[in-house]
């Protein structure tokens, strides 16, 4: 199983590290900072100043790889007011809503749409997170609705509570899963590039032979 037993990054300067940039998006007050702080420090601090924008660096062993994560905790503002960087900078996305607030759930659709519009792509590595699971008595969004939305936007789905200390491992796992999604997509992209460049090399070789620049190899006669 993947573990995230890392410590907050004090840049080691190691070049073998895989870089992974994560952005946390969601309406104001859904717990973006609480989730990030829980992941990084294993702590929950009841009150946070509304975030303007914070970036955290974190280094960990994930699936035997040294991973250097940069986590951008954004301000919960409407997607129309975003900077381009929110969509263009990251390798992967964490979309967060609160299970106690339907408007935050509905906002995920427009957040995802804005990301797609800015990136000009519908292929996005991400996870969908319903936070505040400890407030079950105030639940407005069922687990089923959450998982259906996750299917619709093409993300894995988690319900968690940043406030519940027993969920530390689940929260670590969800950040690790995010990295896994990214790694998978990187692998697909790299193998596509390898395929393209080898077929380009093949075409160039054929072209050279046709134009007579390179003589085809002859089989030595005995
Ligand atoms: N009960 C409960 N409260 C939570 C949980 N996560 C966050 N909160 C509370 O929700 C409030 C908002 O949390 P933040 O982490 O600041 O939310 P945010 O999404 O970063 O908010 P902005 O920075 O304004 O965008 C705080 O009072 C937190 O204590 C949770 O899992 N359960």
- To test the pocket of ligand 1, the residue of 23, 25, 29 to mutate (highest count of ligand atoms within 8 Å of its CB) is 29
Q: Is the pLDDT of residue 60 over 50?
A: yes
Tokens for 32?
């973006």
- Look at residue 216 in the predicted model and tell me its pLDDT: 56
Angle between helices 168-211 and 32-41 (to 10 degrees): 90
Across 177-181, average pLDDT: 90
- Look at residue 2 in the predicted model and tell me its pLDDT: 37
Whole-angstrom CA distances from 145 to 100, 106, 142, 151 are: 13, 11, 5, 10
- Domain segments of the chain as ranges: 2-189
Split at pLDDT 50, 70, 90, the class of 192 is low
Task: Give the whole-number percent of the chain exceeding pLDDT 90.
Answer: 53
Q: Are strands 126-131 and 92-98 parallel, antiparallel or unpaired?
A: parallel
Q: Is 31 helix (H, G, I), strand (E, B) or coil?
A: coil
- Look at residue 151 in the predicted model and tell me its pLDDT: 95
- Look at residue 16 in the predicted model and tell me its pLDDT: 77
Rounded to whole angstroms, the Cα distance separating 147 from 129 reads 10
Q: Is the pLDDT of residue 54 over 70?
A: yes
Split at pLDDT 50, 70, 90, the class of 58 is very high
162 lines ligand 1 (CB under 6 A): yes
* Strand-pair partners of 70: 21, 57
Closest residue by Cα to residue 98 from 185, 161, 164: 161
54 lines ligand 1 (CB under 6 A): no
- Look at residue 207 in the predicted model and tell me its pLDDT: 79
ipTM attached to this prediction: 0.98
Q: Flag the least confident range among 66-75, 129-138, 172-181, 203-212.
A: 203-212
29 lines ligand 1 (CB under 6 A): yes
The per-residue DSSP string of 186-217 comes to HHHHHHHHHHHHHHHHHHHHHHHHHHTSSPPP
Q: Is the pLDDT of residue 75 over 90?
A: no
pTM exceeding 0.90: no
Largest CA distance in the chain: 88
- 162 or 53, greater pLDDT: 162
Split at pLDDT 50, 70, 90, the class of 7 is very low
- Nearest ligand 1 atom, CA 135: 1
Give the fold, CATH level 3, of 2-189.
Rossmann fold (3.40.50)
Nearest CA to ligand 1 atom 13: 31
Sign of CA dihedral 71, 35, 131, 66: positive
């Amino acid at each position: 199983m993947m573990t995230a037993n890392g410590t907050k990054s004090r840049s080691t300067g190691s070049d073998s590290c895989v870089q992974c940039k994560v952005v946390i998006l969601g309406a104001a007050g859904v717990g973006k900072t609480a989730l990030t702080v829980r992941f990084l420090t294993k702590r929950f601090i009841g009150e946070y100043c509304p975030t303007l924008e914070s970036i955290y660096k974190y280094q960990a062993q994930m699936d035997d790889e040294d991973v250097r994560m940069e986590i951008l905790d954004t301000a919960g503002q409407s997607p129309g007011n975003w900077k381009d960087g929110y969509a263009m900078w990251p390798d992967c996305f964490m979309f967060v809503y609160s299970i106690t607030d339907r408007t935050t759930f509905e906002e995920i659709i427009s957040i995802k749409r804005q990301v797609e519009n800015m990136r000009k792509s519908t292929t996005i590595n991400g996870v969908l997170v319903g936070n505040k699971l400890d407030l079950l008595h105030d639940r407005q969004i069922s687990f089923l609705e959450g998982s259906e939305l996750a299917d619709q936007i093409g993300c894995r789905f988690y319900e968690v509570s940043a406030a519940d200390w027993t969920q530390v491992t689940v929260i670590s796992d969800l950040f690790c899963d995010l990295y896994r999604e990214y790694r998978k997509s990187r692998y697909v992209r790299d193998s596509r590039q390898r395929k393209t460049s080898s077929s380009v090399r093949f075409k160039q070789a054929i072209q050279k032979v046709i134009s007579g620049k390179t003589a085809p190899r002859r089989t030595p006669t005995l």
